[in-house]
């Protein structure tokens, strides 16, 4: 387990201190940490556990239960491509195959240049203009392979 | 000349099709032409095929242009769209468009009309009238109005809302909670999202009424983290409600207290199941709890808790404002009021359609939806999310009504409809239903945790043609075990899409490879 650098350590401690008084504080704390660091580093687990008077196993169990929380550093941007039924009905498979080929990674992978992490998602609530994807919280509808390339090239520069 | 008001939606669906660019381009073009324009970022009218739908406020009403892209903006100005000028994208008075005009908008009355995060706009459009009336009633009378309305839980289970509230009201406790299940994870559903982004005060008002009715002082909205736009809208509205005495320790000077907070989920579909949602709110793994005890008796942190869906709670303000009888007069049989139908997938005109219960699937698919997006025949529709049955064309005359759907071994659920054309392979969709269950199972019970994984494997053998009759029987038996042996609806309902696909589209399972 890599130790946290001092900035990350300060971030984790600050989030824990700010939120630990809330009832059911663990999810808000994990979101708070991931919002800043992009992931929840394994070395943050003892600090969180200590702050909430939980065991490390409890904290690890919660992190690993939820698809959204990650314990490794993501790429600069995260692409969430929807693979639920409504998107499938609009040929999501073509966009999916194209995306994997274009990015050179499968789901959960990070591109070699570190620009993108590619994740599946099960519905973005945009089912009347499928297929959909989200990049760092920005939603896109009717994502054909061509449109995927346009969106990706725009984000690559950011 | 006074500024002309132009509406450009801030709804995520409109943004996903370029509404932000459109709004910025209109502002820039107006500035360049020295025209005074006020741009209001409204919710969506729900006609997604017209998004981004730009509306111009004229003395005669609001005229729409859509779907607009940033590249169209200059020509709109050239065509004098600020005076309702002729243009290829002019769709006329928005509220006269048949898709919209034929709806019965009760819960969605304000969505698309107002600035969602403006409390003044909310109040100017009859907002908080339900709460003001509720504050003049006894808790028992509030619950009676909700019971009389016939409102049933819109999350899918269709349990009478008034009865749930009465159970919480009658449970003695020092602390009670009102929780809103906004973990809208079903594919093909987006009504909760549109309401939270387009009229967040309506949900806040409904929750406040619920709190007053049952004596709860703390509320939580459990929102899925895939909805960042809704998150921002809810937080802005909650801040405004606090600042103006609609939330906090002295609601409108009555001495009643209600605090409300949004909590984010983390990408677990199972947290849409109410006991799993409560576990998650408590900061734990979202593993479901066996019932009993019911959450109404022993819910969040062991206290009596209302758990209602967004649509259920957002229907409460109008019920309190206009009375249970008014609401009950919409609908058929035991399905009273309106259903917010969400039409998505392979459909020409998808979107949000609020109608009284009883409209048929065929009317929705063809009169509203205009047939498939691809132009090919519609072969199957899945109603009620990933756990809902697939329906063939022969069942398209089924009215949207809880009992009528139960009679054909289907679910109405949250009212989501996903359309597939004739290129769909239903054996693959059945396999996907098992795969989805395997990915999202919380792991608490064996039929769901193991059954779904075995289901994917057996479906793979069916699809590749290995010992097919034997494996199809095995799928049936597995479905029977999951249906009867699972603790909650995830494992218990995954057989619905699988078995309905096998029942109605058998040929897809027997195809030669």
Put simply, whether B340 touches A (Cβ < 8 Å) is no
Report the distance separating Cα B324 and Cα B32, nearest Å.
52
Same domain as A149, residue A81:
yes
Q: Look at residue A39 and tell me if it is in a domain.
A: yes
CATH number of the domain within which B346 lies:
3.10.20.600
Q: Look at residue A55 and tell me if it is in a domain.
A: yes
**Over residues A7-36, mean pLDDT:** 98
| Total count of domains within chain A | 2
Q: Return the residue of B nearest to A136 by Cα.
A: B228
Same domain as A109, residue A48:
no
| Sequence-separated (6 or more) residues with CB below 8 Å from residue B435 | B452, B456
Q: Is the pLDDT of residue A148 over 80?
A: yes
Q: Report the complex ipTM.
A: 0.98
Which residue bears the tokens 């499938």? A88
What secondary structure letter does DSSP report for B160? B
Same domain as A150, residue A102:
yes
What secondary structure letter does DSSP report for B110? S
What secondary structure letter does DSSP report for B208? H
* Cβ proximity of B224 and B269 under 8 Å: no
Q: Nearest to residue B364, comparing CAs of B300, B419, B433? A: B419
Same domain as B231, residue B146:
yes
What secondary structure letter does DSSP report for B33? T
Give the mean pLDDT of chain A: 97
Residues of B in contact with A61 (CB under 8 A): 285
Q: Look at residue A148 and tell me if it is in a domain.
A: yes
Residues of A in contact with B442 (CB under 8 A): 65
Put simply, whether B161 touches A (Cβ < 8 Å) is no
Same domain as B132, residue B11:
no
Same domain as B169, residue B279:
yes
Same domain as B168, residue B137:
yes
**pLDDT tens for residues B285-302?**
999 999 999 999 999 999
State the smallest CA–CA distance between residue B284 and chain A in angstroms: 6
Residues of A in contact with B48 (CB under 8 A): 128-129
Report the distance separating Cα A36 and Cα A41, nearest Å.
12
Q: Nearest to residue B351, comparing CAs of B43, B4, B117, B23? A: B43
Q: Return the residue of A nearest to B48 by Cα.
A: A128
* Cβ proximity of B181 and B192 under 8 Å: no
Same domain as B249, residue B338:
no
* Cβ proximity of B181 and B314 under 8 Å: no
What secondary structure letter does DSSP report for B314? H
Q: Which residues pair with B344 in a beta bridge?
A: B418
Please give the pLDDT value at position A1. Answer: 78
Q: Look at residue B234 and tell me if it is in a domain.
A: yes
Same domain as A87, residue A37:
no
Put simply, whether B48 touches A (Cβ < 8 Å) is yes
Same domain as A84, residue A56:
no
Q: Look at residue A70 and tell me if it is in a domain.
A: no
**pLDDT tens for residues A41-57?**
999 999 999 999 999 99
What secondary structure letter does DSSP report for A3? P
Using CB atoms, pick whichever of B285, B343, B429 lies closest to residue A65: B285
Report the distance separating Cα B79 and Cα B205, nearest Å.
42
Task: Tell which of B421, B448, B483 closes a domain.
Answer: B421
Report the distance separating Cα B334 and Cα B73, nearest Å.
48
The residue of B418, B431, B452, B498 whose CB has the most chain A CBs within 10 angstroms, and thus the best one to mutate to test that interface, is: B418
Expressed as residue numbers, the domain containing B62 is: 4-94
State the smallest CA–CA distance between residue B12 and chain A in angstroms: 7
Expressed as residue numbers, the domain containing A115 is: 77-156
To 10 degrees, the CA torsion angle through A142, A146, A150, A152? 90
Q: Look at residue B184 and tell me if it is in a domain.
A: yes
Same domain as A60, residue A14:
yes
Task: Mark yes or no for CB contact A127/B373 under 8 Å.
Answer: no
SS3 B182: strand
Please give the pLDDT value at position B513. Answer: 65
Same domain as B432, residue B409:
no
Using CB atoms, pick whichever of B51, B226, B436 lies closest to residue A121: B226
Using CB atoms, pick whichever of A28, A89, A129 lies closest to residue B17: A129
Task: Mark yes or no for CB contact B342/A129 under 8 Å.
Answer: no
Characterize the bridge pairing of strands B4-7 and B54-58.
Answer: antiparallel
Task: Mark yes or no for CB contact B285/A80 under 8 Å.
Answer: no
CATH number of the domain within which A91 lies:
3.40.30.10
**pLDDT tens for residues B52-80?**
999 999 999 999 999 999 999 999 999 99
Same domain as B303, residue B226:
yes
Same domain as B363, residue B240:
no
Task: Mark yes or no for CB contact B187/A86 under 8 Å.
Answer: yes
CATH number of the domain within which B79 lies:
3.40.30.10
The total of other beta-carbon atoms located within 10 Å of residue A89's CB is: 30
Same domain as B323, residue B340:
no
Please give the pLDDT value at position B406. Answer: 95
Q: Is the pLDDT of residue A105 over 80?
A: yes
Contacts across the A-B interface (CB distance below 8 Å) = 151
Residues of B in contact with A27 (CB under 8 A): 263-266, 280-281, 283
Characterize the bridge pairing of strands A133-135 and A138-140.
Answer: antiparallel
- Whether the CA torsion B14, B18, B24, B29 is positive or negative: it is negative
Same domain as A89, residue A54:
no
- Whether the CA torsion B287, B292, B297, B302 is positive or negative: it is negative
Using CB atoms, pick whichever of A24, A121, A141 lies closest to residue B16: A141
Same domain as A144, residue A100:
yes
Q: Return the residue of A nearest to B182 by Cα.
A: A125
* Cβ proximity of B458 and B471 under 8 Å: yes
Same domain as A83, residue A31:
no
State the smallest CA–CA distance between residue B265 and chain A in angstroms: 8
Task: Tell which of A40, A65, A90 closes a domain.
Answer: A65
* Cβ proximity of B209 and B308 under 8 Å: no
Same domain as A21, residue A57:
yes
Task: Tell which of B421, B436, B466 closes a domain.
Answer: B421
Same domain as B417, residue B432:
no
Task: Mark yes or no for CB contact B267/A61 under 8 Å.
Answer: no
* Cβ proximity of B155 and B181 under 8 Å: yes
Same domain as B347, residue B247:
no
Put simply, whether B422 touches A (Cβ < 8 Å) is no
* Cβ proximity of B249 and B215 under 8 Å: no
Which residue bears the tokens 């793994």? B285
| Total count of domains within chain B | 4
Q: Look at residue B266 and tell me if it is in a domain.
A: yes
Task: Mark yes or no for CB contact A86/B229 under 8 Å.
Answer: no
Please give the pLDDT value at position A2. Answer: 83
Put simply, whether B440 touches A (Cβ < 8 Å) is yes
CA distances from residue B372 to A104, B56, B362, B421 in whole angstroms, order as listed: 33, 30, 12, 7
Which residue positions in chain B have pLDDT lower than 50? none
* Cβ proximity of B270 and B229 under 8 Å: no
Task: Mark yes or no for CB contact A90/B436 under 8 Å.
Answer: no
């Amino acid at each position: 387990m890599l130790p946290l650098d001092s900035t990350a350590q300060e971030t984790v401690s600050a989030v824990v201190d700010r939120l630990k008084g809330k009832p059911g504080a663990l999810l808000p704390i994990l979101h708070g940490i991931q919002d800043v660091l992009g992931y929840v580093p394994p070395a943050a687990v003892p600090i969180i556990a200590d702050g909430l008077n939980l065991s490390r196993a409890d904290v690890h169990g919660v992190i690993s239960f939820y698809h959204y929380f990650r314990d490794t550093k993501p790429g600069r941007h995260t692409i969430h491509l929807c693979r639920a039924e409504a998107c499938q009905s609009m040929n999501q498979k073509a966009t999916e195959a194209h995306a994997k080929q274009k990015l050179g990674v499968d789901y959960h992978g990070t591109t070699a240049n570190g620009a993108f992490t590619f994740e599946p998602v099960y519905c973005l609530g945009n089912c009347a203009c499928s297929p959909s994807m989200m990049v760092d919280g920005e939603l896109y509808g009717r994502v054909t392979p061509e449109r995927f390339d346009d969106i990706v090239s725009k984000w690559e520069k950011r | 000349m006074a500024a002309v008001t132009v509406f450009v939606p801030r709804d995520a669906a409109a943004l996903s099709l370029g509404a932000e660019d459109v709004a910025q381009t209109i502002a820039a073009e107006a500035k360049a032409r020295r025209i005074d324009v006020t741009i209001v970022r409204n919710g969506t009218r729900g006609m997604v095929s017209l998004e981004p739908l730009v509306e111009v406020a004229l003395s005669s009403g609001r005229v729409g242009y859509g779907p607009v892209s940033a590249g169209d903006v200059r020509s709109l100005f050239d065509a004098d769209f600020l005076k309702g000028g002729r243009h290829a994208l002019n769709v006329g008075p928005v509220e006269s468009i048949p898709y919209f005009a034929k709806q019965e908008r009760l819960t969605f009355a304000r969505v698309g009309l107002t600035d969602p995060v403006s409390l003044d706009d909310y109040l100017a459009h009859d907002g908080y009238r339900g709460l003001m009336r509720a504050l003049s009633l006894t808790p028992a009378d509030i619950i009676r109005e909700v019971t009389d309305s016939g409102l049933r839980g819109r999350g899918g289970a269709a349990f009478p809302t008034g009865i749930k509230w009465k159970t919480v009201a009658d449970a003695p406790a020092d602390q009670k909670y009102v929780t809103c299940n906004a973990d809208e994870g079903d594919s093909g559903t987006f009504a909760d999202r549109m309401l939270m982004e387009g009229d967040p005060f309506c949900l806040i008002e409904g929750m406040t009424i619920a709190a007053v009715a049952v004596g709860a002082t703390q509320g939580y909205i459990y929102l899925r983290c895939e909805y960042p736009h809704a998150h921002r809208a809810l937080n802005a509205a909650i801040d405004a409600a606090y600042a103006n005495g609609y939330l906090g320790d002295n609601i409108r000077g009555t001495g009643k207290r209600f605090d409300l907070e949004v909590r984010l989920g983390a990408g677990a579909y199972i947290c849409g199941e109410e006991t799993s949602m409560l576990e998650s709110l408590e900061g734990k793994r979202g593993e479901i709890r066996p019932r009993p005890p019911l959450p109404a008796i022993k819910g969040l942190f062991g206290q009596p808790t209302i758990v209602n869906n967004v649509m259920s709670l957002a229907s409460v303000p109008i019920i309190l404002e206009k009375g249970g009888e008014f609401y009950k007069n919409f609908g058929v049989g035991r399905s009273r009021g309106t259903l917010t139908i969400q039409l998505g997938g392979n459909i020409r005109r998808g979107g949000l359609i609020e109608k009284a219960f009883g409209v048929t699937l065929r009317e929705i698919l063809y009169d509203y939806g205009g047939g498939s997006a691809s132009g090919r025949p519609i072969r199957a529709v899945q109603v009620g999310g990933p756990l809902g049955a697939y329906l063939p064309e022969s069942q398209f005359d089924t009215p949207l009504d809880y009992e009528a759907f139960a009679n054909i071994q289907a679910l109405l659920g949250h009212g989501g409809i996903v359309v597939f054309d004739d290129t769909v392979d239903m054996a693959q969709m059945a396999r996907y239903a098992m795969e989805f269950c395997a990915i999202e199972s919380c792991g608490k019970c064996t039929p769901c945790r193991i059954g779904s994984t075995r289901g994917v494997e057996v479906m793979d053998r069916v699809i590749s043609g290995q010992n097919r009759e034997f494996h199809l029987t095995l799928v049936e038996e597995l479905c029977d075990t999951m249906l009867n042996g699972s603790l909650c609806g995830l494992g218990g309902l995954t057989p619905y899409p699988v078995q309905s696909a096998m029942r109605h589209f058998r040929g897809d399972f027997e195809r030669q490879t």
